[in-house]
């Protein structure tokens, strides 16, 4: 019988695919471990894409193994029969045994596929614990954190959030060494005293300080140095809206 596929070719190809399967399996286990899908890539492919490559290589290898078994079927049948003590010629019965074996295997696989398809469940609290958090993160994306929450919802602490802004951006002109306009940022009463105080606790929109720090007031010298970055301005605003509390400075 002239064979279309040579055993040697099949086996060489199977060996190549097996090495490729091991290599891509290694990629999925070590350089791109579970949970790294959103963060890492290797040679232009993500973990997800490498998973697909690994799958198709493995499937190709499986097909070659089946071809290999088919090419050797006659030998397999003779060997099994000899072990069972029967030595009749296998010429006709080999087709029947081949069909029988293949249909049993297919039936088992179909049963398994059906069982797997119908048993898929969403992860519940009780079994979520066995799944490392990075697996969950793979599906749900980054979990919202305090850093991504809108600034208006933030708890603003004067000495840790607001004063450092004054200290860094204002103190050298409005501090102990220089008091431009007689105003000092390190003196509480300079913010709240006078007939029109710079800060109206509870209302950032009525506070003249915000007009200066947002860069809206143009009729003053050095208006440019008073304009704060948006996130700094948001913090100062939130501090004023929350009552502009200025507690005693904590001892460091």
Residues at the contact surface with ligand HEC, assessed by CB under 6 A: 166, 169-170, 172-174, 180-181, 183, 185, 198, 209, 212-213, 220-222, 225-226, 228
Q: Which is nearer to ligand HEC, 111 or 225 (CB)?
A: 225
CA-to-CA distance for 194 and 187, rounded, in angstroms? 13
160 neighbors 168 (Cβ within 8 angstroms): no
For residue 40, is it left (φ>0), alpha (ψ between -120 and 50) or beta? beta
Residue 197: CB minimum distance to ligand HEC, A: 10
**Nearest distance, CB of residue 32 and ligand HEC, angstroms:** 47
Are 135 and 127 a contacting pair, CB within 8 Å?
no
Q: What is the smallest separation between the CB atom of 160 and ligand HEC, expressed in angstroms?
A: 17
For residue 132, give both structure tokens: 């490392």
With CB atoms as reference, the residue minimizing the distance to ligand HEC is 170
Our CB check for ligand HEC shows the closer of 78 and 212 to be: 212
Minimum distance between the CB of residue 235 and ligand HEC, rounded to whole angstroms? 12
Q: Which of 242, 90, 232, 95 is nearest to 170 (CA)?
A: 232
- As a whole number of angstroms, the distance between CA 177 and CA 180 comes to 10
* Residue whose tokens read 């948006």: 230
CA end-to-end distance (rounded Å), the chain:
92
Instruction: Let me know the angle formed at the C-alpha of 251 by 246 and 252, rounded to the nearest 5 degrees.
Output: 115
The token pair at 80 is: 């099994």
What is the smallest separation between the CB atom of 226 and ligand HEC, expressed in angstroms?
5
From the CB of 191, what's the least distance to ligand HEC, in Å? Answer: 8
* CB-nearer residue toward ligand HEC: 98 or 175: 175
Nearer to ligand HEC, 50 or 166 (CB): 166
C-beta of 21 vs 209, nearer to ligand HEC: 209
Q: Which is closer to ligand HEC, CB of 71 or CB of 173?
A: 173
């Amino acid at each position: 019988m002239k064979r279309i596929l040579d055993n040697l070719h099949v086996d060489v190809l199977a060996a190549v695919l097996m090495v490729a399967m091991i290599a891509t399996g290694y990629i999925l286990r070590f350089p791109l471990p579970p949970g790294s899908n959103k963060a890492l890539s290797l040679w232009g492919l993500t973990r997800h894409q490498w998973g697909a490559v690994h799958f198709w290589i493995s499937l190709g290898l499986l097909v070659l193994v089946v071809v290999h078994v088919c090419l050797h079927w006659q030998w397999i049948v003779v060997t099994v029969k000899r072990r069972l003590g029967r030595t009749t010629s296998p010429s006709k019965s080999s087709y029947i045994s081949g069909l029988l074996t293949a249909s049993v295997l297919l039936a088992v696989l179909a049963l398994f596929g059906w069982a797997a398809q119908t048993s898929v469940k969403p992860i519940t609290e009780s079994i979520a614990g066995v799944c490392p958090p990075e697996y969950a993160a793979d599906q749900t994306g980054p979990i919202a954190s305090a850093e991504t929450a809108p600034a208006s919802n933030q708890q603003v602490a004067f000495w840790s959030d607001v004063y450092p802004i004054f200290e860094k951006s204002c103190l050298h002109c409005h501090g102990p060494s220089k008091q431009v306009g007689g105003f000092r940022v390190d003196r509480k009463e300079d913010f709240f005293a006078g007939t029109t105080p710079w800060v109206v606790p509870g209302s950032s929109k009525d506070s003249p300080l915000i007009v200066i720090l947002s860069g809206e007031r143009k009729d003053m010298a050095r208006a440019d140095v008073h304009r704060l970055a948006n996130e700094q301005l948001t913090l100062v605003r939130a501090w004023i809206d929350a009552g502009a509390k200025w507690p005693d400075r904590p001892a460091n």
